[in-house]
């Protein structure tokens, strides 16, 4: 199997290519660089051997020869090896050297290009690197000085025209600006430095070339004017044509933790990222499917600890989550060689549109969809559609909310909760750093009572304190629904706001409410 030299892109997880994602998801060994985001690293299997070979410009660095040795060592075993590099491996990424080392060792390799920060950084700052009426060309150059390589003739570039994009030029910024001016580039030429491009920490500084050089002097570093690595320097008239958009989104810069079951739905997190938030949505619980008899066997006799027969045919099957849908279909149908036809004649209800779409993926169209995705709304819809004594099944979690059961029971419906799956806590040792240092967050979104219980248990193990004592008043706690809010309160959280629907608009409203 060839070694995959993969570009991770500039930082925004959404800019990872489909092929890069595919290679990561199947790798046995992952050899990765310093600036690769944690969300991208999380795409690799938990069983993958992960090797860090980062190079810190102000600290320790893994020698390139050692990286080449690791690639040859692991590539020769025949397992799936991914060499993950920031940006594009062949744009100042030393990917060519690694490919040559593999070729010399007789090991096959493939290159998976990534989006280079040379283009992504200006774009996320709203700066076009070319413009029909201003700049017909762009030059990409490294500002890093190589001991055994020819240097860059900055004076010649100063006379070149067009747009100049400089990577790795923070330390040499004074000499770079001086060389450009000596070559004839006008002192009034606009300059922008885009730091931490495409990430929630992105910031942009602007000057004229002459002003910047005056402040730096001939040997000054970018740090003297507030420019820190990683930074992309854009020089040319196009800087004045910028149309900023990235920093203008409503949640830009907010660090939000939204812990969820491992492998769970990420649509809400993705929606918040589109609004500018840095969302940390790694799992703190695991979903464990519970064994189920086949659907016909459940229908014939439902066991509740004794041998109590159902006594009558089921009238409705009501699903309270997408997870319940997949667990029930997998456990009661697919694993027994059955499909949706086994549910013929039974009416189906869904707690909301998301759950209804999950049913649709299995060829099941619900007869009733609750107008709002809450247990109360689903109970009211079922009561309106059924007579007293109707039998209603609820395929759901082992420790599901008692709310809907109580509402239906009070209305004289025969309710049977079917435990299809359980949630189990992920060990604290596997938690992301953001959850072991929650004071660094701006907001915490709780999506289920099980998540709240898992967090509370982990913090008790780490700190010996309740959640209300761990989370500082500056961190806003948002609960997704009243049931989650009740579970969070029981686990020791102080909830600042409740999102009444599991969608991005409701979460945005709740975050703004908690902030007011």
Residues labelled catalytic: 33, 55, 168
Angstrom distance (rounded) from CA 390 to CA 313: 9
Angstrom distance (rounded) from CA 222 to CA 200: 21
For the chain, state the CA radius of gyration.
Answer: 28
Length of the chain, in residues = 516
The β-bridge partners of 55 are: 61
Angstrom distance (rounded) from CA 212 to CA 176: 11
Give yes or no for a contact between 167 and 197, defined as CB atoms under 8 angstroms apart. no
The tally of CA atoms less than 13 A away on the side-chain side of residue 292 is 32
Give buried/exposed letters for 249-278 (b at 16+ CB in 10 A, else e): eebeebbbbbbbbbebbeebbebbbebbbb
Give yes or no for a contact between 295 and 338, defined as CB atoms under 8 angstroms apart. yes
Residue 424's CB is within 10 A of a number of other CB atoms, namely: 13
Residue 443's CB is within 10 A of a number of other CB atoms, namely: 25
**CA triple 225-228-232, angle to 5 deg:** 100
Report residue 311 as tokens: 């006594």
Q: Could you tell me which of 98, 33, 453 has the C-alpha nearest to residue 284?
A: 453
The β-bridge partners of 7 are: 85
CA 11 from chain centre, in angstroms, equals: 11
Q: Sheet holding 109-112: strands in order across?
A: 49-52, 29-32, 81-85, 3-7, 109-112
Q: Could you tell me which of 48, 64, 59, 194 has the C-alpha nearest to residue 119?
A: 194
Residue 386's CB is within 10 A of a number of other CB atoms, namely: 21
Residue 384, C-beta contacts closer than 8 angstroms, at least 6 positions apart: none
Give yes or no for a contact between 489 and 458, defined as CB atoms under 8 angstroms apart. no
Cis preceding linkage at 230, omega within 30: yes
């Amino acid at each position: 199997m060839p070694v995959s030299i993969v570009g991770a892109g500039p930082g925004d997880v959404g800019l990872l290519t489909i092929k890069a994602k595919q290679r990561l998801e199947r790798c046995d060994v992952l050899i990765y660089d310093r600036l690769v985001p944690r969300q991208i690293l999380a795409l690799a299997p938990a069983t993958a051997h992960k090797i860090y070979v980062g190079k810190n410009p102000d600290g320790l660095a893994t020698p390139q020869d050692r990286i080449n040795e690791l690639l040859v060592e692991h590539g020769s075993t025949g397992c799936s090896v991914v060499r993950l590099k920031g940006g594009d491996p062949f744009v100042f990424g030393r990917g060519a050297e690694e490919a040559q080392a593999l070729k010399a060792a007789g090991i096959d390799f493939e290159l998976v290009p990534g989006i280079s920060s040379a283009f992504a950084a200006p774009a996320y700052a709203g700066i076009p690197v070319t413009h029909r009426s201003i700049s017909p060309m762009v030059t990409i150059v490294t500002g890093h000085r190589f001991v055994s390589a020819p240097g860059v003739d900055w004076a010649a570039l100063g006379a070149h025209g067009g747009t100049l994009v400089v990577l790795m030029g923070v330390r040499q910024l004074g000499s770079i600006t001086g060389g450009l001016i000596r070559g004839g580039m006008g002192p009034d030429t606009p300059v922008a430095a885009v730091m931490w491009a495409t990430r929630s920490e992105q910031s942009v500084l602007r000057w004229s070339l002459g002003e910047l050089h005056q402040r730096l002097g001939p040997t000054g570093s970018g740090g003297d004017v507030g420019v820190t690595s990683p930074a992309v320097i854009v020089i040319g008239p196009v800087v004045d044509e910028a149309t900023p958009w990235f920093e203008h989104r409503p949640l830009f810069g907010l660090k939000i933790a939204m812990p969820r079951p491992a492998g769970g739905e990420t649509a809400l997190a993705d929606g918040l990222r589109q609004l500018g938030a840095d969302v940390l949505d790694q799992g703190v619980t695991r979903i464990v499917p519970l064994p189920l008899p086949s659907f016909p066997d459940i229908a014939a006799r439902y066991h509740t600890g004794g041998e109590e027969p159902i006594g009558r045919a089921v009238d409705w099957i009501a699903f309270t989550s997408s997870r319940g849908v997949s667990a029930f279909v997998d456990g009661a149908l697919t694993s027994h060689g059955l499909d949706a036809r086994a549910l013929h004649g039974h009416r189906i209800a869904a707690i909301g549109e998301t759950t209804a779409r999950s049913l649709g993926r299995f060829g099941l169209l619900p007869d009733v969809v609750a107008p709002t995705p809450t247990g109360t709304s689903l109970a009211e819809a079922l009561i309106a559609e059924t007579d007293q004594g109707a039998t209603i099944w609820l395929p759901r979690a082992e420790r599901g909310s008692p709310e809907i059961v109580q509402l239906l029971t009070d209305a004289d419906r025969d309710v049977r909760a079917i435990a299809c799956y359980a949630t189990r806590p992920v060990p604290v040792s596997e938690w992301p750093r953001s959850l072991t240092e929650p004071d660094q967050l701006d907001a915490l979104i709780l999506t289920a009572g099980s998540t709240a219980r898992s967090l509370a248990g982990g913090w008790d193990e780490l700190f010996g304190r309740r959640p209300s004592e761990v989370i500082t008043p500056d961190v806003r706690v948002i609960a997704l629904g009243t049931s989650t809010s009740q579970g969070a309160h029981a686990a020791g959280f102080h909830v600042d706001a409740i999102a009444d629907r599991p969608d991005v608009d409701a979460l945005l409203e709740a975050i703004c409410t908690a902030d007011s």
